Structure 1
Amino acid sequence: MVKQLFSPLQLLLIFLCCSTALSQPPAQAPAAPPPAQAPVALPPPVVQSMAPGPASSGPPNITAILEKAGHFTTFIRLLRSTKMDSDIYTQLNTSSQGLTVFAPDDYAFGNLSAGALNAYNDDQKSQLVKFHLISSYFSLPEFQTVSNPVSTEAGTKVEYPLNVTISGSQVNLTSGFVNTTVSNTVYTNGHLAVYAVDQVLLPRRFFVTPSPAPAPAPSKPVKESPSTPVSTADASVQASGAMPVIHHALSAVTFLSSFVAALNLCV
């Protein structure tokens, strides 16, 4: 006898389970995620920046140039005490010829004898500074064609001669009393040239006394008038010529006196 595979109770349970499973609706698929939205472009942040100020106009400042270069303390002090810094600024602002400056450094002033600079009066200090200025712009190569002596701000070529020569790449300067060279270029812009020199250019005029002016020519002698007194020699001559006349006159007076006396006796 074949053994039963399922009992009636088991078949009932299977039927109920199958009915329940079939009666449930199918599971819903998960909802698709919403489409991603394109990112919204934000306006760039506003950055506040200071607009650059206008570029400085006008001629360069000679003392500012020397201060930036360094080692020109004494020359800067001279420029300010003589008011030449202001004169240079004005000249650069009004002249189209430019300016060339030979600037002695502090080492150059240190080579002067003790107290030499303080011994100069205000006018000499001003002339000393001007002797280092040429009222035209010169680049270093242009000194090859310069006509010596060169005129400086101090005065004429005769009073303050300055000779500039070039030997190879070296620029030589001589005042007739001091010889020096250009050691380097401090500043140049085509209108102003500042060259450092290793000696102070002392003008020869500071040490050589100018020759005195010729004495005026003597005036022509004025003819003597008749009332002019006669000189002693002439008086002697005239006196010696008058003696015979006086002698004869005295003789005549004596004769007349004798004649008168004789007449009286006769009477």
Structure 2
Amino acid sequence: MAKQVLSLSLLLVFLFHCTTTSGQPAQAPTLPAVAPAAPANAPAPPGPPDVTKILQKVGGFTILIRLLKSTGVADQLRGQLNDSSIRFTLFAPNDNAFSNLKAGTLNSLNNEEKVRLIQFHILPTYYTLENFQTVSNPVRTQAGDNKPGDYPLNVTSVGSQVIISTGLVNASVSGTLYSNFQLAIYQVDKVLLPLDLFVAKPPSPAPAPAPTKPKPKKTTAAASPETSTTATPTVVNSGAVSLATHGILVSLGVAVLIATFSL
């Protein structure tokens, strides 16, 4: 009986202790004085689109990537895309498109012409595929003048197919590689060849000779009565008589004088 009372007392003491402890508020965890640093391998904040990295990720654009880097166009695009108000559209020929060019085509171009060739594939505007249905031709490229014979580029949309014409090449868009609000990259099945680089221009005509001024005609003043001379007969030893009248010398081989002198 005593053991039962002792056990009951211990149980009551235990329950009282538990009730008192659970009623106290939990202590808040102590915050560190300095916020923890970000992990060293945290990704950097996203920057402007990098055309060469996009093409490398897709694969099959080795020649275009090399040209973008060697001409400096890749760095130029990346620098300009830092401004979110600047937008571009790039037509990207893959390695197969470059391999279909005539042998020596790229080697025939100097460095400046290679820059123009790559710039000819870039439009200074962001176009969706739907925008090409209402585009005004010829479209302007980064290569500059779009006048006939220089760098004209015409883009037409027929159904779901987009056709690009340079005057030498008709290429078609075969897929979208990248598109956001600032940059669109479309794969094309041919390298876009501009007229200015691949069509020989006729030599400029030689300048016409300057017209010669006509020489003024010499006029002979009429002789005044005071200075006019009359015909004067001249008698020579041979018996010939010469008569000078208005600069014309008339010779008369006669042995007699002129009839006027005989009158």
User: Shared fold (TM-score greater than 0.5)?
Assistant: yes
Runs (5+) with no aligned partner, structure 1: 1-25, 228-251, 260-267
- The answer to whether the Cα contact below 8 Å between 2:91 and 2:121 also exists between their aligned partners in 1 is yes
- The answer to whether the Cα contact below 8 Å between 2:119 and 2:143 also exists between their aligned partners in 1 is yes
Q: Which amino acid aligns with 1:190?
A: F
Tell me: CA distance 1:219–1:172, structure 2 relative to 1, closer, same or farther (3 Å): same
- Post-superposition offset of 1:143: 0.5
* SS, match of residue 31 in structure 1: helix
Q: Which amino acid aligns with 1:106?
A: D
- Could you say which residue in structure 2 is the equivalent of 1:230? none
Q: Distance in 2 between matches of 1:214 and 1:144?
A: 41
- Does residue 1:71 correspond to 2:60, yes or no? yes
2:168 pairs, out of 160, 172, 177, with 177
* SS, match of residue 92 in structure 2: strand
- Does residue 1:165 correspond to 2:119, yes or no? no
1:121 pairs, out of 110, 127, 148, with 110
| Cα deviations by residue, 1:227-263 (Å, 9 ceiling, x for unpaired) | 9xxxxxxxxxxxxxxxxxxxxxxxx6xx63558xxxx
| Aligned length, in residue pairs | 209
- Could you say which residue in structure 2 is the equivalent of 1:146? 135
- The answer to whether the Cα contact below 8 Å between 2:84 and 2:182 also exists between their aligned partners in 1 is no
Cα RMSD over matched residues?
3.2
Mapping 1:82-93, distance limit 5 Å: 82-93=71-82
2:38 pairs, out of 36, 39, 50, with 50
- Post-superposition offset of 1:184: 0.9
TM-score (norm 2): 0.68
* SS, match of residue 196 in structure 1: strand
- Does residue 1:202 correspond to 2:193, yes or no? yes
The structure with the largest strand share of the pair is 2
Q: Distance in 2 between matches of 1:210 and 1:108?
A: 26
- Which shifted more, 60-69 or 70-79? 60-69
Query: Is the radius of gyration larger for structure 1 or structure 2?
Result: 1
Q: Which amino acid aligns with 1:50?
A: A
Tell me: CA distance 1:27–1:85, structure 2 relative to 1, closer, same or farther (3 Å): closer
Q: Distance in 2 between matches of 1:129 and 1:201?
A: 9
- Post-superposition offset of 1:98: 1.0
Query: Identity percentage over the alignment?
Result: 43
TM-score (norm 1): 0.67
Q: Distance in 2 between matches of 1:53 and 1:108?
A: 35
- Could you say which residue in structure 1 is the equivalent of 2:247? none
Mapping 1:14-33, distance limit 5 Å: 28-29=3-4, 31-32=6-7, 33=10
- Does residue 1:156 correspond to 2:145, yes or no? yes
Q: Distance in 2 between matches of 1:169 and 1:84?
A: 30
Tell me: CA distance 1:216–1:96, structure 2 relative to 1, closer, same or farther (3 Å): farther
Q: Distance in 2 between matches of 1:178 and 1:42?
A: 77
